[in-house]
């Protein structure tokens, strides 16, 4: 048996509630226009974000009310648990396995938490073995779809034949704040949605793709670019206006360094699979990576249909790229709090 780690299967899931962009814009105007002087200027983001709709953990009316930690985390536990089961069950079935075959679970999420972690709470329902290893990861934000995938791949590589389940779940909409009269909060109402994705990885033969390399880059003195501020009301978004120019300036050197550590160059990549943080960020990434404008078409398609779901979004893009035909070599890239960049290269399965 080869020690090469393979992506065996991939599945995605979304909550039942759908919010169309015009509905989000109308609700935001109703809730903020009379209280935030610059609202009408910022409201243009609803038209320029490139988003038609997104899925949400709660119906639109829920966001008209003030919610504290208890409401938010109760909703998180309920909906994130359901999405975990749906995405993980689908990924396991697509791998022609059962839950009792899973040896390790890596779960990433930065939009809510439970203790015990979701994997423990759902172990009996899923049918996991009692000796399963659990690796819940919090705080990687948008980058976690790639970073968590890389962690799962390294665990699979260290134990050839072991089945590693990777689950990414984010309920970004639960962080919506009525009391935050700030530019980042208004922009967030136009961008973020909820979703989950799950992958099965195992060292062996076959699968959808071969995991070739992984790597990360942490940028010094960039803590203010993206993250959460946490207070009695819940999470409050930190989102700097400088992100698109930062990505355009810094992404290529970081990815170049990651690839070089694995004996690769930018020219070796046939298709970049990027986390679609927003339209401006995608344009900045295309510029940074010397791609023709519009190249990241699947990214724009996912953004339009689902919004920015944070960590699972890049896996929704990967699903579309695989469906369209994975090229000889692709690189998944995501940027997130830290500020950081993560990269995983994939080879087409033989």
CATH, residue 27: 3.40.47.10
The verdict on 49 and 64 lying in the same domain is yes
The verdict on 238 and 339 lying in the same domain is yes
Domain finish residue from 138, 169, 203: 203
- For residues 271 and 347, what is the distance between their CA atoms, to the nearest angstrom? 11
Phi-psi region of 234 (alpha: psi -120 to 50; beta: other; left: phi over 0): left
Domain finish residue from 203, 226, 255: 203
Domain ranges, residue 331: 209-348
Q: Which of 142, 172, 199, 274 is catalytic?
A: 142
Q: How many domains does the chain have?
A: 2
The verdict on 258 and 311 lying in the same domain is yes
Q: What are the Cα distances from residue 26, in Å, to 111, 181, 308, 341?
A: 25, 17, 19, 35
The verdict on 191 and 239 lying in the same domain is no
Per the confidence metrics, is the pTM higher than 0.75? yes
Active site residue 142: yes
The verdict on 223 and 96 lying in the same domain is no
Q: What percent of the chain has pLDDT over 90?
A: 73
Lowest mean pLDDT among 183-192, 251-260, 325-334: 183-192
The verdict on 142 and 28 lying in the same domain is yes
The verdict on 69 and 192 lying in the same domain is yes
Domain finish residue from 203, 219, 253: 203
Neighbours of 243 (CB within 10 A): 18
* Helix (H/G/I), strand (E/B), else coil: 332: strand
pLDDT for res 41: 81
The verdict on 157 and 228 lying in the same domain is no
Cα atoms in the 13 Å half-sphere on the side-chain side of 83: 29
The verdict on 161 and 252 lying in the same domain is no
Q: What mean pLDDT comes out for the span 303-321?
A: 97
The verdict on 150 and 96 lying in the same domain is yes
Please check the confidence at residue 2 and state whether its pLDDT lies above 60.
no
């Amino acid at each position: 048996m080869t020690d090469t780690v393979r992506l065996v299967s991939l599945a995605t899931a979304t909550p039942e509630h759908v919010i169309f962009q015009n509905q989000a814009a109308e609700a935001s105007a109703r809730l903020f226009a009379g209280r935030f002087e610059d609202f009408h200027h910022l409201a243009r983001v609803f038209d320029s974000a490139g988003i038609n709709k997104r899925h949400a953990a709660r119906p639109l009316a829920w966001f008209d009310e003030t919610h504290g930690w208890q409401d938010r985390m109760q909703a998180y536990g309920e909906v994130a648990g359901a999405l975990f089961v749906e995405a993980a069950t689908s990924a396991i079935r697509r791998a022609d396995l059962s839950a009792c075959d899973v040896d390790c679970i890596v779960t990433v999420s930065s939009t809510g938490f439970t203790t015990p972690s979701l994997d423990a709470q759902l172990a009996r329902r899923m049918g996991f073995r009692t000796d399963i290893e659990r690796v819940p990861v919090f705080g990687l934000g948008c980058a976690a779809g790639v970073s968590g995938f890389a962690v799962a791949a390294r665990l699979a590589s260290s134990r050839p034949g072991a089945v590693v389940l990777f689950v990414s779940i984010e309920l970004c909409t639960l962080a919506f704040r009525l009391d935050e009269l700030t530019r980042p909060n208004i922009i967030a109402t136009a961008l973020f949605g909820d979703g989950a994705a799950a992958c099965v990885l195992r060292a062996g033969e076959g699968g959808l793709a071969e995991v070739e390399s992984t790597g990360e880059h942490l940028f010094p003195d960039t803590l203010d670019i993206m993250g959460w501020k946490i207070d009695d009301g819940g999470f409050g978004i930190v989102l700097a206006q400088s992100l698109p120019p930062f990505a355009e300036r810094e992404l290529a050197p970081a990815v170049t360094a990651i690839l070089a550590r694995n004996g690769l160059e930018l020219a070796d990549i046939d298709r970049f699979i990027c986390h679609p943080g927003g339209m401006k960020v995608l344009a900045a990434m295309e510029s940074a990576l010397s791609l023709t404008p519009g190249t990241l078409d699947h990214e724009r398609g996912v953004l339009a249909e689902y919004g920015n779901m944070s960590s699972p979004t890049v896996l929704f893009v990967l699903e579309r790229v695989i469906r369209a035909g994975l090229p000889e070599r692709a690189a998944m890239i995501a940027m997130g709090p830290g500020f950081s960049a993560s990269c995983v290269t994939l080879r087409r399965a033989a």
